Structure 1
């Protein structure tokens, strides 16, 4: 009899935790485990703002799947469709080829995408902070704006390049604004004349920052940001964005060349592509994480509508947080095993362990087990939790070492060279085609002189 094949789509918190638990609990010859994911690492997303600021190196939070998974077969690509009748996942490999992966049990945990709206100029001029490439790009972009502003004698250009806008008052937005503001403070040691020109803005359409923290801690976080010079505006969003300015819904116009968009997430389009029932794009599942009517398919994480049984509110769903995804991953594994054995599935129930927000420097706010803490104690608890939650010993060592280096030696504010670079061919990185011959040089110099 052929071994049942368990296919997992996604290697985030839920997917990785499910696979590691199944590797431990399912005998090697009892089932085949397959993972479909475009990257060979699990990204520890809560620390992305610290990568954007340069506090952490990118590889510190990119945890190798080859180190963590011992017998799972990996398909390097993205799932782009599911045929539920033939029980087959359609995947596009990173090479561009299409492959078909049959399954007996399917676990869908593809994560989420950046949520965008129909705002003129947003897609063209906004920047996200949801993956390593975006985080590294943000760091280079912010530092480039400061370099260019310092080299410019045009007051208007300096104002545009020194104004930074973050949209989104959730964890990512708040931590991104805090981390990058601290990066600018460090850069001002090199560019002292810009110190008074740099302006950071954090806006959100909601009436409070991070309402999950509660009124007291939310206000504490907002006050800490304002003390560091971040201008926080609530009940407002972006109306239009161009290359050099952003118009807000309260009709303010900010001269600005840096728009960072962190205003929430949207479910992976894969969920609706399955043809199964969805709730605002999230795959509908029961409290046991199985799809009603298709018990061979289970889902969890950001793109699954998992009922929150801890609340009395009808229709309440678990929020898309790493804490929930990690726990749901464990239950996914247990329920997949139970379904193969013909045993009843368990329901997902949880107790809130609290919320943690690292504002960089020495600032943090935390609510572990309902107790509100700020300052250095909160920072210690926050960073201890991140070290605990990182699923790799080498990853913990890298993160702890990065934090120690910053505390003892300070940070580096050099760009890494990711802006406006093509690397499609052998010679692209060296930009050998940018040089001008003598006739072109003379022509451009004469035109510049004429313009003056």
Structure 2
């Protein structure tokens, strides 16, 4: 078959959903059956649930960044950049490469798995002074920043400055926020022993959330167990509270408290990638509304999945949507690949149905709470399940070996407190890691495509 006539399958995003889709397409499609292209700024898949352990130094960054080029059978073309617009009528995806070049990529089938970005609100100073925990760069940067606060507090002669540098605020009582607070608190608790001039009692961690419960998905008993573990460690938990404003040296809570701090970590949920808004299609709370088969109703060859798609959860029913979790994204990726192939070959599409396998929360050390298949576990059994699940979900044996080696080394040798140098003299905050201003509006996409057509 001539390469010009081969169907073009474009996959946007290299998260759990996108990578699983690409791998399935490679395995099931013959090389002359279709051309597969992947759009991603980085040629690796990030195992997002383990980011808090990178921030705390338990794992090295490369251990959870799984290269997309390790397989010798890999034949997918990678465009290093991010999709900033899609014209469904012309079947063209507009891409901004990592060198800021604008590229128009035509497709016959497009799989939209651009993931999500950190959800923020119109809170004064938030994006200027808060850190996120969504990317590998942010995790590495936060680690450097936290250790730097200990160094600077130790060197300071000002009691007020010392106190503010040793207070840390994490916003978000979901899995990301809870695990981030738990892992980083363990890091500072261990590190302060190497600073004889610092009073360990000055180190204070605050975990706050506007919701009335911490991780409500865990249920009443496990949620209470997680809170008890964190409070026993000295983490102050405030529920029904959020941030009123943020400054460079203090944070004001909505209950009126003012906390002197140089560290605000924002993990209060995610929203769909702004790419979805460029389509001009129907959305559900910002996520693209798709059929149970994960195709866009009325869209020619358009599929969407993962955090950016409102996929009906047929296992739950009652109009429920699949939650933005890794286990759903991985299974949706494989299912979408099968449906794309079925569409390509003229076969029927199948609806996505998957029941949640459970939840795991790793709080560091021997502390964890897990709910596999509805069974509530705490302590070492829960830790074994949590780490066993994460370890088995890693895609390559190299990644599994690195993660297991890091865990064993940390268990034997303890934490290290080396700053890697990612933190430069120029501060980097939430707004610096997510390029939300790079996306086009539907009108801009159409104008761009029409302009490119006239030039062509």
- Asked if TM exceeds 0.5, the reply is yes
Deviations 1:199-240 (A, max 9, x none): 000000001111111111111111101111111110000001
Partner of 1:436: none
Quote the offset at 1:277 in angstroms: 1.5
Q: Who is 2:274 aligned against?
A: 269
The correspondence for 1:53, drawn from 52, 56, 73, is 56
Q: Which whole-Å CA distance do the structure 1 matches of 2:410 and 2:316 have between them?
A: 42
TM-aligned CA deviation for residue 10 of structure 1:
0.3
* TM-superposed deviation, 1:158: 1.1
Mapped to 1, the partners of 2:37 and 2:52 lie a distance apart of: 31
2:395 — aligned with what?
Answer: 391
State the match for 1:25 in structure 2.
Answer: 28
User: Quick one: which of 327, 335, 338 aligns to 1:334?
Assistant: 338
Does residue 1:42 correspond to 2:28, yes or no?
Answer: no
Q: In the alignment, which of 146, 157, 165 is matched to residue 161 of structure 2?
A: 157
Aligned residue number for residue 71 of structure 1: 75
Residue 293 of structure 1 aligns with which residue? 298
Q: 2:195 aligns with which of 191, 196, 213?
A: 191
Q: For the residues of structure 2 that align with 1:339 and 1:159, how far apart are their CA atoms? A: 61
Give the secondary-structure state (helix, strand or coil) at the position aligned to 2:201.
coil
Q: Which residue of 1 aligns with 2:176?
A: 172
The whole-number CA distance in structure 2 between the counterparts of 1:349 and 1:211 is 23
- Partners of 2:404 and 2:424 in 1: CA distance: 32
Q: Any conservation in 2 of the 1:150–1:194 contact (CA below 8 Å)?
A: no
Deviation at 1:323, TM superposition (A): 0.9
Maintained 8 Å contact 1:246/1:254:
yes
1:48-447 to 2 correspondences below 5 Å: 48-68=51-71, 70-192=74-196, 193-314=198-319, 316-421=320-425
Deviation per residue, 1:229-269 (Å, 9 max, x gap): 11111000000111111110111111111000000001101
**Residues 144-171 of structure 1, C-alpha deviations (whole Å, 9 max, x = no match):** 1111111112111111000000000000
- Tell me if the contact between 1:165 and 1:258 (Cα under 8 Å) persists in the aligned partners: yes
Shift of 1:67: 1.3
Which residue in 2 is equivalent to 1:16? 19
Length-normalised TM-score, structure 2 = 0.91
Which whole-Å deviations, capped at 9, do the CAs of 1:335-385 have from their partners, x for residues lacking one? 001111111111111111000000011101100010000101111111111
The residue matched to 2:70 in structure 1 has which SS?
helix
Deviation per CA, 1:74-126: give whole Å up to 9, x if none: 11111111111111111111111111111110000000001100001101110
- RMSD over aligned CA atoms reads 1.0
User: What is the rounded CA distance, in whole Å, between the counterparts of 1:334 and 1:216 in structure 2?
Assistant: 39
Distance apart, 1:311 and its partner CA = 2.0
Runs of 4+ in 1 over 6 A off after TM superposition: none
| Distance of 1:103 and 1:362 partners within structure 2 | 49
Separation (CA, whole Å) in 1 of partners of 2:180 and 2:103: 37
**CA drift at 1:280:** 2.0
Q: Provide structure 1 residue ranges, at least 5 long, that are not aligned to the other structure.
A: 423-452
CA distance in 2, matches of 1:57, 1:113: 23
Alpha-carbon offset, residue 295 of structure 1? 4.1
Bigger relative contact order (CA 8 A; separation at least 6)? 2
Q: Distance in 1 between matches of 2:249 and 2:22?
A: 46
- 2:317, 2:133 → 1: CA distance? 34
Query: SS where residue 137 of structure 2 aligns?
Result: helix
Tell me, which stretches of 5 or more residues in structure 2 are unaligned? Answer: 427-456
Secondary structure, aligned partner of 2:69: helix
Deviation at 1:39, TM superposition (A): 0.4
Give the match for residue 444 of structure 1.
none
Whether contact under 8 Å (1:186, 1:413) holds in the other structure is no
What SS does structure 2 have at the residue aligned with 1:176? helix
**What is the TM-score of this pair, normalised by structure 1?**
0.92
Q: Please tell me whether Structure 1 or Structure 2 has the larger radius of gyration of its CA atoms.
A: 1
